[in-house]
Amino acid sequence: MSTPDALLEVENLRVDFRTDDGVVHAVDGVSYAIKTGKTLGIVGESGSGKSVSALTMLGLTRGKRTDVSGRILFEGRDLLTLPDEELREIRGDDIAMIFQDPLSSLHPFYKVGYQLMEAVQMHRSVSKAAARDRAIDLLELVGIPDPHRRVDAYPHEFSGGMRQRAMIAMALANEPKLLIADEPTTALDVTVQAQILALLEDLQQRLEMSVILITHDLGVVAEIADEIVVMYAGRIVEHATTERIFATPQHPYTWGLLKSIPRLDTPRNENLVPISGRPPSLINRPSGCHFHPRCPYVRDQHKRVDPRLQAVPGEPGHEVACLLPVPLRKQVWQGLKAGQTPDELSALIRAKPEPEPIAAAQPAQDAGP
């Protein structure tokens, strides 16, 4: 999948961690691309590989016990094969990252201003005074009141929202082309979350950045992402524009995510539809479709055959890795939207004869041992 105007392309990325308990298949053949100035949302639960794929981009998973394969092309260069020194030049300059927990990502011992200046001076040969001015500008840019005074404050003197703003300021210090935000608002209150999201959107438009937003909150991605990738057990299970993910989701896991969260607009008395079971271990992944132990619509075949990410007919740009036949998927989602339970719908499916071979799918190659 080569995208002409892509800023960054991830191709068939695999990340394995060798541990004493076995090999953790954290990311397993993931491909996506980000266009300039767009926002890609990566959604998934803990352990779905969403953060690891982003960390790998910046070389933060490199180590003796890590096996990485595939390609991550950024402006024509493969970040995976880049030597550490060259990667360090990109990191914090062209690609910057915001982490979930602002308190543990800021150094408690140094003033916020000093940490910002360090980010500037790392990549630009400017005087100390100029770097300090830049730090003040940055704090102002992210909406910290009284930046001339705050530049000399320590992280503990900032509130949670202000720390996250300081983190964003640091990430923006060198006007990166790509910003990776890993759960940037998870630790924050809703009102502060709304402020931070509005800030990110505004800055993105002004600086024409591309943004990768990693989150488990479908509400957050619905607000600001252009495209969404849904990850499960180290793989992409669905990829589409934000509108399509919410209007015509195709994967049972996506349905589960959409139906299991209480929303402000669903009837109060309706029971939520939970996804049964729990996320799988990435060491011993289930055979066939990794989602099959939790999928209400599972058939025998799905336990053996490994689904590949495939285009949804009639919906350009929408890809899904599911073995259910397309018309059936449509029918199930319509049923779910109308308030039918997965149990009712799976009974409906079971009533139909199981189709012959699943033409598009390939046999399982690397399902867990």
Partner 1 sequence: MNANGTPLVEVRNLVKHFPITRGVIRQKKVGAVKAVDDVSFDVIKGETLGIVGETGCGKSTTARLIVRLLEPTSGEVRFEGEDITKRKGKALKSLRREMQMIFQDPYSSLNPRKSVGSIIAEPYAIHGLEKTEGARKKRVQELMDTVGLSPEHYNRYPHEFSGGQRQRIGVARALALGPKLLVADEPVSALDVSIQAQVLNMLRRLQAELGLTVIFIAHDLSVVRHMCDRVAVMYIGKIVELAPGESLYGFPRHPYTGALLSAVPVPDPVGSHRKRELLTGDVPSPANPPSACRFHTRCPKAQAICSEHEPALVDKGGGTVAACHFPLTREEADSRLPAVLTGIRADGEGAEGAEGATQAPQAGLAP
Count Cα atoms within 13 angstroms, Cβ side, for 352.
15
Distance CA 59, CA 173 (A): 20
Amino acid letter for position 159: S
Count of all residues that appear for the chain in the document: 369
For partner 1, the closer CB: 274 or 316: 274
CA dist list (Å): 296 to 33, 48, 61, 150, 327: 31, 20, 35, 54, 17
Taking the complex as a whole, how short is the minimal distance between the CB of residue 218 and partner 1, in angstroms?
4
Q: How many C-beta atoms lie closer than 10 Å to residue 226's C-beta? A: 17
Positive or negative, the Cα torsion across 355, 361, 365, 366? negative
Taking the complex as a whole, how short is the minimal distance between the CB of residue 229 and partner 1, in angstroms?
15
For partner 1, the closer CB: 3 or 260: 260
Taking the complex as a whole, how short is the minimal distance between the CB of residue 219 and partner 1, in angstroms?
3
For partner 1, the closer CB: 59 or 280: 280
What single-letter DSSP state applies at residue 294? G
Taking the complex as a whole, how short is the minimal distance between the CB of residue 276 and partner 1, in angstroms?
8
User: What residues pair up with 180 in beta bridges, in sequence order?
Assistant: 97, 212
For partner 1, the closer CB: 95 or 257: 257
**Which residue matches tokens 């600086």?**
207
For partner 1, the closer CB: 35 or 216: 216
Taking the complex as a whole, how short is the minimal distance between the CB of residue 112 and partner 1, in angstroms?
15
Pairing of strands 39-43, 66-74: unpaired
Please, are residues 229 and 43 in contact by the beta-carbon 8 Å criterion?
yes
Taking the complex as a whole, how short is the minimal distance between the CB of residue 121 and partner 1, in angstroms?
29
Taking the complex as a whole, how short is the minimal distance between the CB of residue 41 and partner 1, in angstroms?
11
For partner 1, the closer CB: 258 or 364: 258
- Residue numbers of the site for partner 1 (CB under 8 A)? 45-46, 145, 159-162, 189-195, 197-198, 216-220, 222-223, 242-243, 246-247, 256-258, 260-266, 268, 271-276, 278-279
Q: Which pair of structure tokens corresponds to residue 324?
A: 């259910």
Taking the complex as a whole, how short is the minimal distance between the CB of residue 188 and partner 1, in angstroms?
9
Write the Ramachandran bin of 158: left for phi over 0, alpha for psi from -120 to 50, otherwise beta.
beta
For partner 1, the closer CB: 262 or 363: 262
Please, are residues 26 and 18 in contact by the beta-carbon 8 Å criterion?
no
Among 162, 156, 121, smallest CA distance to 142 is for 162
For partner 1, the closer CB: 118 or 223: 223
Count Cα atoms within 13 angstroms, Cβ side, for 147.
18
